[in-house]
Amino acid sequence: MRDAEPSAIYLKDYQVPSHLIDKTHLHFILHPTKTRVSSDLTIRKNPDADTKSNELILHGQDIDLQSVSIDGRQLDDRDYQLEAECLRIANVPEQFVLSVVGLIAPADNTSLEGLYKSQSMYCTQCEAEGFRKITYFLDRPDVLSEFTTTVVADKTEFPVLLSNGNPIKSGSLDDNMHFVTWHDPFPKPAYLFALVGGDLECIQDSFTTTSGRAIDLKIYVEEKDLDKCDHAMASLKSSMRWDEDVYGREYDLDIFMIVAVDDFNMGAMENKGLNIFNTSCVLAKAETTTDAGFQRVEAVVAHEYFHNWSGNRVTCRDWFQLSLKEGFTVFRDAEFSADMGSRTVKRVEDAKLLRAMQFAEDAGPLAHPVQPASFIEISNFYTLTVYEKGAEVVRMIHTLLGAEAFRQGSDLYFERNDGKAATIEDFVSSMEEAGGRDLSKFMSWYHQAGTPKLAVTADYNSSSREYALTFNQTCPTTPECDSEDKKPYLIPVAMGLLGSNGPLSLVPETDVDFSLSKNDTHCVLELTQPQHRVVFKDINAPPVPSLMRGFSAPVRLQFDYSPDDLITLMTQDDDGFTRWDACQQLCVSVIHEVEASLQQGKEPSVDSRLSDAARALITNQNLDPAMVALMLTLPSEGYLAEIATTANIDTIHSAREIVRNHLAASLKTEFAERFDSLPYFPEYEANAVQIAVRSLKNCCLGYLVATADAVWLERAMTQYRTATNMTDQSAALSVLALSPDSKAVDYSVSALSEFYQQWQSEALVVNQWFSVQAMQPGEEAVDRIRSLMQHEAFNINNPNKVRALIGAFANNNPVCFHNSDGSGYRLLAEVVKKLNATNPQIAARMLGPLTKWRKYDSKRQELMQAELNSIKQTVGLSKDVFEVISKSLA
Ligand code: ARG
Ligand code: ZN
């Protein structure tokens, strides 16, 4: 047990730093257990700080301090105080150079924060607070410094030595050592510092900016992965062009580097000029990477590149402002992906993720505002709320202002805050100024946790020919705020009305601000009050309202649509998101009916309107195949659990399977015809057309295998064996391995063993192999996971492996994870305890599924709480895990 419980820090307590560090000179001699880090920091008192004290307090952790001097005069240990997490120096001058030498042990650093070793390579991850594990510093984002970094290492083992900015000097030293000195002209906070040393190869390209500057682009990987870099490079160049075209942002350094590392806590990191990426977000090749993998590489490359402006040139004042860079940058990368591929598909995928995962976070014990008011460990706040909901909030500003004013607001924001550490308020005020409007009512989106509910009711008056919609917004109670104390949200509702002959002209009469599209059939209402009534005139018959087009606000919409209304929306609305959503809602209502029958012990029947609608979709050649596939994909068990008050995992699973099997059986011919008529592309490309076709094809295959027809099992196996790309190969593997039918077992066993034989040398493909097995059904699931954890390819210190096996099990195999004997919970708790000691960030993240215990029946609640409590008793509990556990048990 820890002696003192870790305490929270609060946004309201923000104070400017006592000192500034104008220049930072670093010198590294790389060694696995004794890397010598020498720093010379040019420090002065911050003129804006109101403190009279002359004390300097530097952050530092796990550093073996060797010496401290000020202006060349060595201090002895009476001049400073060394604590576990800081170094205090009592009487510092107004201005001075502080020199510190320390030793660190990258090979022992399993937290993957600070300087660590990944395989044979040295690399760093400093965001959020990892720099303090490298050297003593003011490790906070509002202290910006100009960095010069020299790296010394063995020439043979580490021919490549990189850091931020431009290389300015290099040479050989005694004992086969060499050095490279890098200088970054742009002042930056320490969290953007990076260093890499390794035996790496690179692919190179060049990009010429609008103003004619040629930028060197380099992607560094292990030699064996050189053939998997082209997609990342192409994505980088598209991102650079896009940011110039859409945001007027040009790249600023002469060189942009990406380095791929195997062991990485997150996706990637935007270190100035030297982006470090999880291999899973850089490497892509048709044979080893699925379409989704290709899209992820494109999105993450873009995301990190866009951070050069939204994050690096303008950074965050403090970590409560994390969404300032993350929400905005996710919005930017989402728009980029929409422009590169299919806009509607991208929107649907994002809305799906938000509704299944972020809404759950917002409804759980760890709910927090997009701008949190407090935290214990900032690493716990790299969340769906800060990233994805944060992006939705920026998107709403875009909707409210329109594209043109939004761009002016963004220009103003970059111009005003360039080279500075800014706040969310700075961002919004630039938008207010450019848009010529007050956004104060909008701020609830940043300050309040929880997903607002928007309940809408309609009434039609045939004599006045008026159609009225009444909107009621509420927001549930969240950990720190009662429902009644919440301010209303400014909710943009993009909508239209469908009559029997298509979209109706809108003549709204209301106190709500609204904007109408040119042809009058679409409008955006701006709700600001708990209740609003909007009356539409000249309506001849009750229409079907199409609400929240494009998912115009991240709310739970409630409207009592009949199945026929939903079918009208699905087939007639001109908004792709609404069409998809109507189909999902139809599926949900059909699944709910089956659930109800199962609970009442009645023979369930599946509403034939769903199979009719599905038939119409599958046979319609005019629709985007990707949209058809999305619409034919039943809502996930995770989403069905999320929208339930108490999630009955087994009933949800059975009901969903019944509906799925019903669709498979009743549309077998149609699925087969469509499967056979879709083209096969011998030349793989990750473009929207090909991706769409493969997604529909594999969706059909899924249903066809669900019929358990021997012919289709055989055909899936043939596809598995003959596929020339990973998308088709892994889709076939999954449908066979995840089939509950006993006739599939032999196929599944062969495919899984062949897969490992074929791909054992490709770490990222092996991850897929772990994931499929983690999701397999059956009583023996937990034992299977335990034995896979002993497999030669598993490594608990590699976060990708942990996510692939344990993460996939706990998140995507609900029936087995929630086994009422508690064995799934026990397994996860054991893993979390292990990780707590080695990698607290990942430990806290893996804990997620257990924190949602309130969603389940009382027996499971008890079992889940028992595991949480037992983790809480762990000796040496990390701050990360402590925060998640204590909030989830509160
Ligand atoms: N800034 C990075 C990104 O958005 C993620 C940072 C990872 N931070 C962490 N605490 N592991 O892509
Ligand atoms: Zn980011």
Residues 764 and 827 in one domain: yes
- State the average pLDDT over residues 437-450: 98
Buried b (16+ CB within 10 A) or exposed e, 525-538: bbbbeeebebbbee
pLDDT tens column, 286-326: 999 999 999 999 999 999 999 999 999 999 999 999 999 99
Per the structure, how many domains does the chain have? 4
Q: How far is the CA of 523 from the centre of ligand 2 (A)?
A: 33
Q: How far is the CA of 764 from the centre of ligand 1 (A)?
A: 20
Whether the per-residue pLDDT at 1 is higher than 70: the answer is no
Considering the domain boundaries, does residue 366 fall inside one? yes
Residues 14 and 53 in one domain: yes
404: annotated active-site residue: no
Whether the per-residue pLDDT at 2 is higher than 70: the answer is no
Whether the per-residue pLDDT at 694 is higher than 80: the answer is yes
Residues 387 and 478 in one domain: no
The CA-atom distances, in angstroms, between 668 and each of 434, 587, 635, 661, 663 are 55, 18, 20, 10, 8
Residue 3: predicted pLDDT: 55
Q: How far is the CA of 266 from the centre of ligand 2 (A)?
A: 10
Residues 882 and 796 in one domain: yes
Query: Of 559, 576, 593, at which residue does a domain stop?
Result: 559
CATH code (residue 536): 2.60.40.1840
- State the average pLDDT over residues 515-532: 96
Nearest CA to ligand 1 atom 1: 269
Residues 509 and 385 in one domain: no
Query: Of 512, 535, 559, at which residue does a domain stop?
Result: 559
Residue 52: predicted pLDDT: 82
Q: CB of 381 closer than 6 A to ligand 1?
A: no
Are β-strands 19-29 and 145-154 bridged in parallel, bridged antiparallel, or unpaired? parallel
Considering the domain boundaries, does residue 120 fall inside one? yes
Residue 4: predicted pLDDT: 78
Return the SS3 of 365.
Answer: coil
Residues 327 and 462 in one domain: no
Residue 51: predicted pLDDT: 80
Q: How far is the CA of 269 from the centre of ligand 2 (A)?
A: 7
Nearest CA to ligand 1 atom 3: 269
Mean pLDDT of the chain: 98
Ligand nearest to the CA of 330: 2
Angle at 830 between CA 829 and CA 836, to 5 degrees: 85
Considering the domain boundaries, does residue 568 fall inside one? no
CA distance 139 to 41: 13
Residues 437 and 465 in one domain: no
Q: CB of 128 closer than 6 A to ligand 1?
A: yes
Tell me: cis bond preceding 128? Omega within 30 of 0 counts: yes
Rg (the chain; Cα; Å): 28
Ligand nearest to the CA of 375: 1
Q: Percent of the chain, pLDDT > 70?
A: 100
Q: How far is the CA of 129 from the centre of ligand 1 (A)?
A: 11
The CA-atom distances, in angstroms, between 79 and each of 66, 84, 87, 263 are 14, 17, 11, 39
E runs forming strands in 108-208:
114-118, 121-125, 145-154, 160-163, 166-172, 177-188, 195-198, 201-208
Ligand nearest to the CA of 301: 1
CA distance 823 to 828: 9
CA distance 36 to 39: 10
Mutate to test the pocket of ligand 1, among 269, 270, 316 (most ligand atoms within 8 A of CB): 269
Considering the domain boundaries, does residue 728 fall inside one? no
CATH code (residue 124): 2.60.40.1730
Considering the domain boundaries, does residue 698 fall inside one? no
The CA-atom distances, in angstroms, between 375 and each of 8, 127, 588 are 5, 16, 36
pLDDT tens column, 44-84: 999 999 888 899 999 999 999 999 999 999 999 899 999 99
- State the average pLDDT over residues 106-126: 98
Residues 418 and 501 in one domain: no
Mutate to test the pocket of ligand 1, among 282, 305, 328, 382 (most ligand atoms within 8 A of CB): 382
The CA-atom distances, in angstroms, between 360 and each of 367, 586, 591, 612 are 9, 21, 20, 32
List beta partners, residue 10: 374
Residues 437 and 500 in one domain: no
The CA-atom distances, in angstroms, between 155 and each of 161, 164, 170, 179, 812 are 9, 20, 12, 8, 46
Considering the domain boundaries, does residue 80 fall inside one? yes
pLDDT tens column, 82-98: 999 999 999 999 999 99
Instruction: Supply the range of the domain harboring residue 802.
Output: 760-890
- The residue from 129, 222, 298, 304 that is catalytic is 304
Q: CB of 300 closer than 6 A to ligand 1?
A: no
Residue 499: predicted pLDDT: 97
Query: Of 505, 532, 559, at which residue does a domain stop?
Result: 559
DSSP letters, 581-636, are: HHHHHHHHHHHHHHHHHHHTTPPP---HHHHHHHHHHHH-TTS-HHHHHHHHSPPP
Residues 467 and 432 in one domain: no
Residue 624's φ and ψ, nearest 5 degrees, are: -65, 120
Residues 389 and 477 in one domain: no
List beta partners, residue 456: 471
Return the SS3 of 377.
Answer: coil
Considering the domain boundaries, does residue 326 fall inside one? yes
Mutate to test the pocket of ligand 1, among 266, 281, 296 (most ligand atoms within 8 A of CB): 266
Considering the domain boundaries, does residue 236 fall inside one? no
Nearest CA to ligand 1 atom 5: 269
- State the average pLDDT over residues 692-701: 98
CA distance 510 to 469: 10
Q: How far is the CA of 127 from the centre of ligand 1 (A)?
A: 6
CATH code (residue 326): 1.10.390.10
Counts of helices then strands in the chain (DSSP H, E): 31, 34
pLDDT tens column, 166-212: 999 999 999 999 999 999 999 999 999 999 999 999 999 999 999 99
CA distance 378 to 629: 38
CA distance 614 to 569: 14
Residues 499 and 377 in one domain: no
CA-based nearest residue to 333, from 219, 405, 235 = 235
User: Closest ligand 1 atom to the C-alpha of 303?
Assistant: 12
